[in-house]
Structure 1
Amino acid sequence: MVKVELLPTKVSWKNGKVDPEKATINPAAAELIELANREGYETAWHRLLQQEPQCGFGLLGVCCRNCTLGPCRIDPFGNGPKRGVCGADADTIVARNILRMIAAGAAAHSDHARDILQVFQYVAEGKTKSYKITDSEKLRWLAKALGVPVDGRTDQEIAKDLVPILAAEFGKYGDEPLKLIEALAPSKRKEVWSKLGVMPRAIDREVNEIMHRTHMGVDADPVNLTLQGVRAALADGWSGSMMATILSDILFGTPKPIKYNINLGVLREDAVNIVVHGHNPVLSMKIVQVAWSKEMQELAKKYGANGVNVVGMCCTGNEVLMRQGIPIAGNMLLQELAIITGAVEAVIADYQCVMPSLATLAECFHTKLITTEPKMKIPGAIHVEFDPKNADEAAKEIVRIAIENFPRRNKARVKIPKHKTEAMAGYSVEALLQILGGSLDPLIQALKEGTIKGVVGIVGCNNPKVKQNYNLITVTKKLIENDILVVGTGCWAHAAATHGFFTLEAAEMAGPGLKKVCKALGIPPAIHMGSCVDCSRILLVLGALADALGVDISDLPAAGSAPEWFSEKAVSIGTYFVASGVLVHLGVVPPVLGSPNVTKLLTEDAEKILGGKFYVEPDPEKAAETIINHIIEKRKKLGWPT
């Protein structure tokens, strides 16, 4: 079994302050952390160090608070309690805890899908004029995949028939597989899932069953528990997240290659700066549309600004970037630093990865934090309920609040770092196919010949325990140097763009084979495929490659990596990739080490039954080497040159 040392955080104090050099490799972020130190502003890095030392029982996953018999904790060294009050041992407690993380992650992404589906239903039923079907071709592709007639029918008629089919993905009776999985997952994978008894039945049912199984006095078998986690994660990846991506493309447009600028330097001293933050494009796309209107641009001038500047943060930033080319301020750990620039009139948040600390920090400046979703309110924030049926009116109210706040900006306190980078994004599956000439054949040929050795998806998150962006960039750099094409989503994409990997010139950093392909196709060596929910795009590419080659996904020279993950969503994502037959690297140690049996199940035994497994390695150099060796072994088994 792989042994992983629980490393202490690499962030440290320097003269009583956070050391910027230990916190991040982004110079713009370092500049503002230093400012926060001087002025006494609190950021995630400050709060992390205040928490040290973090609870060792929690880090190992051997504490249980699922009922009031406890809280219980198991001594991992064997000197103290071996079971909780109810009799649950370390294996059961660790498995239950990780299962609940999967449930929360699957619920977050799939609830996102439910919100998109609701807007899709409003459009289908003519209940909103704020949204419309933008990509008719993708609508008809989805309809054909799900058996809905399209010939001689309008988009609205097709959409009406799709709504109940998609709604049933969340909850239905019976054990029939989910329709999206039946339609889109590779046949060899479906055989594996059916044989194991983990074929998802309904998204909500699988999440609900996790909560039932982990209640006191129910499932105590770590293997049985873990398999239910696999089932819920598959429901998320191949149905919930898949639905969110596909419906967003249908409503807002399927992304195409587009240029943009990234890093905190995209904020403007002369304009009203609005940061859209969270994950749901239903809000952010409308904010962009309204902010760009002549009415709002003129209103901004009336209040002394040279227009309105909308910038993205986190994954809702990715949504508007991929479709509108909106500049990006940065990834998850830059949300507080954006406010510390003193130049942000409003942070407009929907949900997920939004720090509650923003409300407190905003009070130190003129910035307004505006929450918009009934499922996410933060004390101290302004709450403006966003109703998709009347989205234009709500968006105008929100943008107007930001504009009217501009005169309150203290110009003497504005400190916008000059750092920003040009990059390219917008690589949906459809865009990649178009670049390849309409089929995967050129990519398959490059893989067979060894011009491209393999494909690795790098996803998600920053974590203040890790030097910001360092692990993400180190793994990316090492892989492309070895002729491995990197695709990815979420906060990784912001890091890769910030550090120059999303330009055509970045091909010079790649190995000779990948460099040749990039120059021939006019693509970067690292590809931005969207927000974290768009990991479903990566699943589709892997499934299509496997089907085209007549193999299982587990046979492909492919892997996944989450070098700086923190979120429960990342646990669900990692699990559905493992369940799809992919080796998944984690750069932050998950809370499972308190159970050697569960650790072995996830990092060794899973490969025997699912074709994929987790690989935990905090050192990004070692992780990249292992991933490269894994890809070489897969190539050998396929009989391809290494």
Structure 2
Amino acid sequence: MDGEKVVLRVTPEKASLNPAAQELIEKAEKEGVQTAWHRYLAQQPQCGFGLLGICCRNCMLGPCRIDPFGNGPQKGVCGADADTIVARNLLRMIAAGAAAHSDHARDIVHVLELVAEGKTKSYSIKDVEKLLTVAKSLGIPIDGRDTLEIARDVAHVLAHEFGKHDEEPLRLLLALAPKRRKELWQKIGVMPRAIDREVNESMHRTTMGVDADPVNLLLHGVRTSLADGWSGSMMATLLSDILFGTPKPIEYVINLGVLREDYVNIVVHGHNPILSMKIAEVAMSPEMTELAKKYGAKGVNVAGMCCTGNEVLMRLGIPTIGNTLLQELAILTGAVEAMIVDYQCIMPALATLAECYHTKLVTTEPKTKIPGAIHIEFDPANADEIAKKIITLAIENYPNRNNARVYIPKHKSKAIAGFSVEAILSALGGTLDPLINALKDGTIKGIVGVVGCNNVKVKQDFGLITLTEKLIENDILVVGTGCWAHAAAIHGLFSKEAVEKAGPGLKKVCQALGIPPALHMGSCVDCSRILIVLGALAEALGVDISDLPVAGSAPEWFSEKTVSIGTYFVASGVFTHLGVVPPVLGSKKVTKILTEDIEGVLGGKFYVEPDPIKAAETIISVIREKRRKLGWPV
């Protein structure tokens, strides 16, 4: 149907832990439709040089590749060896990830500026208190000033973070990062100066004929990632809260079963809440409901996908389909009238897949166009009108649905999301003291942030869920974002009933606070919320983040964004696990730096282990050792 005959068989039970996904993979097999799993099998064997990170296409002297067995070339045409090539490739991955998250932030800064200058009526400031807190932290006067005037100054200061030309560190990082970390970053020369500057310098350094020192390249990777985590991603989170409201605990429903047979189904997919929040708001209006009834439906059902799904569910309670590997399966149900996308993690395959059904794929960003999709450019200044146009397109498509090909799995779960830093503090009575006391006495042994994507190389959700369950069973509180959050919700870990899977100490705390043992903290840019919590804990205890009994994990990652996230967590002093092997094994030196030597400099390091049980056991061991050094009971 999509131009290529399906000849490779995918076993649903081996592909995904999610029963709804398994049913739709089986449907794809019957209907001869390709999914990411089919395309992955068709790519076997994948390029071994690429998997090791020892191929270079940075100039036309090549492409060059290094023989990992020592029998062939050990240097590229320019003289770059495996250490240089691997370090350069890794730095480019960090730069791409930092650029993606920070460009997301730039778009939200732009909307705040439009609001402050009265150039849009489609958005407003929902959390004035948070605006004032951010302004004060940046040194912006707030007393006796108009809210929009303060918002304008905040937007201008944060916009300056992208392209300023001086050597001064980023103001948001200076305002929010712990003192000991800032001193360390300054000492070793990795304090970021401007977001665009660090990304730009990454590309410059990795151009042929510039930086060839793997240590120097990796240190700039640290600096670039810090510009993302403590400024780019941080401002995306802060400004989204200001514009759309800071999340509070909210109940929602998740999995493919949230699609409805007798409603117009619209899926919002991507990462930026500017589009998805407006689509959700307009779709729920009486006008759109009446229009849907005119075309034979009972109403409009908006469902989230990926991180923009996280954004709308934790602020509006919008039902969510799930994580990134479910995007094709949503269309496979035959019940989606339109999938509306902004950017990041959107598979180009969606366009050809949509042609097999009646679904309209609608791109909305000038930076994200896909051949075969309908492009309707989104403009925040006229957001309501454009959202209405897109939703009308979806409603008018409802009569084109082929009911004979509709199959919606019944699987769906109830979950609780919306644990922002403010929500966690509120649950603790307004102070971190109860959490600190629980950590000190061993009721809670530690905290682990689990983030990252799905990857077809791993059984969908298996690594995410197995590791999480092992940790909570050992009295370790798990917090996280992004695709992990969707998996945890689908498999019941965001329900209050999940406390039965927790160890006795964690169970006691969760029951007392009325929270699940794993906490949804938002979309992937909201990893910045985890940084804030870690920084606050370190400052309250008078220690460095690297001393805390904490760790990070990305069991099923695939995106360059995760490389940036992992690097800024390591740079912040966190032991960080990766479940998918990164392309660095072609260089023993780079591998040793990342998994051993860097700990002596930054206090954190990478740990690679595909087996989630072994990974959890190692993380538990690391947390015990951190507790021992603090003099806390192990």
Short-chain TM bin: over 0.9
Match of 2:456 among 457, 461, 464: 464
Match of 1:189 among 159, 164, 181: 181
Please say if 1:333 is aligned against 2:353: no
Please say if 1:37 is aligned against 2:29: yes
Match of 1:8 in 2: none
Q: How does 1:355-374 map to 2 (within 5 A)?
A: 355-374=347-366
Q: 2:307, 2:499 → 1: CA distance?
A: 26
Match of 2:118 in 1: 126
Q: 1:135, 1:174 → 2: CA distance?
A: 32
Q: 2:227, 2:418 → 1: CA distance?
A: 26
Shift of 1:153: 1.4
Match of 1:314 among 303, 306, 311: 306
Match of 1:619 among 598, 605, 611: 611
Please say if 1:242 is aligned against 2:234: yes
Please say if 1:517 is aligned against 2:509: yes
Please say if 1:351 is aligned against 2:343: yes
Please say if 1:485 is aligned against 2:485: no
Q: 1:423, 1:159 → 2: CA distance?
A: 34
AA aligned to 1:638 is: L
Match of 1:90 among 56, 68, 82: 82
Query: How big is the alpha-carbon RMSD for the aligned residues of Structure 1 and Structure 2?
Result: 0.8
AA aligned to 1:260 is: Y
Q: 1:16, 1:65 → 2: CA distance?
A: 31
Match of 1:108 among 90, 93, 100: 100
Match of 1:639 in 2: 631
Match of 1:566 in 2: 558
Match of 1:66 among 58, 70, 74: 58
Q: 1:354, 1:383 → 2: CA distance?
A: 14
Q: 2:153, 2:344 → 1: CA distance?
A: 31
Match of 2:68 in 1: 76
Q: 2:163, 2:302 → 1: CA distance?
A: 37
Shift of 1:15: 9.1
Q: 2:351, 2:159 → 1: CA distance?
A: 35
Please say if 1:138 is aligned against 2:130: yes
Unaligned runs of 5+ in 1: 1-13
AA aligned to 2:543 is: V
Shift of 1:149: 1.1
Q: 1:70, 1:91 → 2: CA distance?
A: 17
Q: 1:149, 1:307 → 2: CA distance?
A: 47
Match of 1:148 in 2: 140
SS of the aligned residue for 2:347 comes to coil
AA aligned to 2:70 is: G
Shift of 1:16: 4.2
Match of 1:251 in 2: 243
* Cα offsets for 1:448-473 (capped at 9, x unmatched): 00000000000010000000000000
Match of 1:215 in 2: 207
Match of 1:414 in 2: 406
Match of 1:544 in 2: 536
Match of 1:23 among 4, 7, 15: 15
Match of 1:11 in 2: none
Q: 2:490, 2:379 → 1: CA distance?
A: 34
SS of the aligned residue for 2:163 comes to coil
Change (3 A) 1:82 1:422: same
SS of the aligned residue for 2:162 comes to coil
SS of the aligned residue for 2:340 comes to strand
Match of 2:368 among 372, 376, 382: 376
Change (3 A) 1:15 1:128: closer
Please say if 1:442 is aligned against 2:447: no
Match of 1:176 in 2: 168
Match of 2:3 in 1: none
Q: 1:590, 1:274 → 2: CA distance?
A: 35
Q: TM-score, normalised by structure 2?
A: 0.99
SS of the aligned residue for 1:551 comes to coil
AA aligned to 1:482 is: N
How many pairs are equivalent? 629
Q: 1:269, 1:325 → 2: CA distance?
A: 20
Q: 1:535, 1:336 → 2: CA distance?
A: 26
AA aligned to 2:601 is: I
Q: 2:149, 2:50 → 1: CA distance?
A: 52
Q: How does 1:293-312 map to 2 (within 5 A)?
A: 293-312=285-304
SS of the aligned residue for 1:584 comes to strand
Q: 1:408, 1:190 → 2: CA distance?
A: 58
Match of 2:488 among 488, 496, 502: 496
Which ranges of 4 or more aligned residues in structure 1 deviate by more than 2 Å? none
* Cα offsets for 1:57-97 (capped at 9, x unmatched): 00000000000000000001100000000000000000000
Q: 2:281, 2:87 → 1: CA distance?
A: 45
- Kindly indicate whether the alpha-carbon contact (under 8 Å) linking 2:8 and 2:41 is maintained by their aligned counterparts in 1: no
SS of the aligned residue for 2:67 comes to coil
Instruction: Give % identity.
Output: 78
Q: 1:323, 1:445 → 2: CA distance?
A: 30
Match of 1:198 in 2: 190
Match of 1:4 in 2: none
Q: 1:562, 1:163 → 2: CA distance?
A: 32
Q: 2:129, 2:373 → 1: CA distance?
A: 40
Q: 2:267, 2:8 → 1: CA distance?
A: 31
Match of 1:5 in 2: none
SS of the aligned residue for 1:18 comes to coil
Q: 1:46, 1:583 → 2: CA distance?
A: 35
- Kindly indicate whether the alpha-carbon contact (under 8 Å) linking 2:135 and 2:142 is maintained by their aligned counterparts in 1: yes
Match of 1:290 in 2: 282
Q: 2:567, 2:384 → 1: CA distance?
A: 38
Q: 2:307, 2:370 → 1: CA distance?
A: 19
Q: 2:325, 2:608 → 1: CA distance?
A: 23
SS of the aligned residue for 1:17 comes to coil
More displaced, 166-175 or 221-230? 166-175
Match of 2:582 in 1: 590
Please say if 1:278 is aligned against 2:270: yes
Match of 1:606 among 595, 598, 606: 598
AA aligned to 2:567 is: T
Q: 1:482, 1:221 → 2: CA distance?
A: 42
- Kindly indicate whether the alpha-carbon contact (under 8 Å) linking 2:417 and 2:520 is maintained by their aligned counterparts in 1: yes
More displaced, 16-25 or 544-553? 16-25
Q: 1:276, 1:154 → 2: CA distance?
A: 35
Shift of 1:168: 1.1
Q: 2:149, 2:408 → 1: CA distance?
A: 50
Match of 1:225 in 2: 217
Q: TM-score, normalised by structure 1?
A: 0.98
- Kindly indicate whether the alpha-carbon contact (under 8 Å) linking 2:8 and 2:42 is maintained by their aligned counterparts in 1: no
Q: 1:169, 1:636 → 2: CA distance?
A: 40
Q: 1:577, 1:165 → 2: CA distance?
A: 25
